[in-house]
Chains A and B, each alone.
Chain A
Amino acid sequence: MIDWLVEPLRSTVVARALAELLLLGVVSGSLGSWIVLWRLSYSAESLAHGMLPGLVIAALAGVPLVIGGAAGLLVATLAIAAVGRVPRLGSDVAVSVVITTLLGLGVLLGLAPETPAGLDGILFGDVLGVSDGDLALTAAIVAVVLISLALLRPSLVVVGLDRLNAAALGRRPGAVDVALGLLLALATLVAVEDLGNLLVVAMLVGPAAAARLVTRRLTSMMLAATAIAVGASLVGIYASYHARLAAGASVTCALALAYVAALAARRLTAARRSASARA
Chain B
Amino acid sequence: MRDGGMSEPHDADASRRPLLVVADSLAATYPGSDAPALASVTFELRGGQRLAVLGPNGGGKSTLLRVLSGQLQPSFGKLELPAGRVALVPQTERSRLDFPVSALDVATLGAVARLPWYRRPSRADRALALDALGRVGLADRAHRTYGDLSGGQRQRVLVARALVQDAPLLLLDEPFSGLDAPSRRRLELLLEELAGAGRGLLLATHDLDQARACELVLCLNRVQLAFGEPERALTPQVVERTYGAWLHGTGDPEEQPASPGRTP
Contact = CB atoms under 8 A, between A and B. Distances in A.
Interface of A: 37, 151-155, 157-158, 160-162, 164-165, 167-171, 212, 215-218, 220-221
A163 B86 CA distance: 18
Given A155-B117, A157-B109, A168 B90 contact: yes
A170 B102 contact: no
Given A151-B118, A218-B100, A157 B105 contact: yes
Contacts of A215: 100
A162 B95 contact: yes
Interface string B90-102: 1000111001111
A161 B106 contact: yes
Contacts of B105: 157, 217-218
A165 B112 CA distance: 13
A168 B69 contact: yes
B100 A167 contact: no
Contact of A161 (B95, B115, B117, B119): B95
A262 B87 CA distance: 40
B120 interface: yes
B100 A217 contact: yes
Contacts of B51: none
A201 to B, nearest CB: 21
B90 A165 contact: yes
A162 B71 CA distance: 14
B23 to A, nearest CB: 18
Nearest to A219: B100
A234 B219 CA distance: 66
A118 B102 CA distance: 49
Contact of A216 (B115, B120, B145): B145
Contacts of B132: none
B228 interface: no
Contacts of A155: 112, 117
A220 B117 CA distance: 23
Contact of B112 (A37, A171, A216, A220): A171
B14 to A, nearest CB: 27
B154 to A, nearest CB: 11
The 6 closest A-B pairs by CB, nearest first: A168-B88, A162-B95, A165-B90, A167-B71, A168-B69, A151-B118
B145 A161 contact: no
B223 interface: no
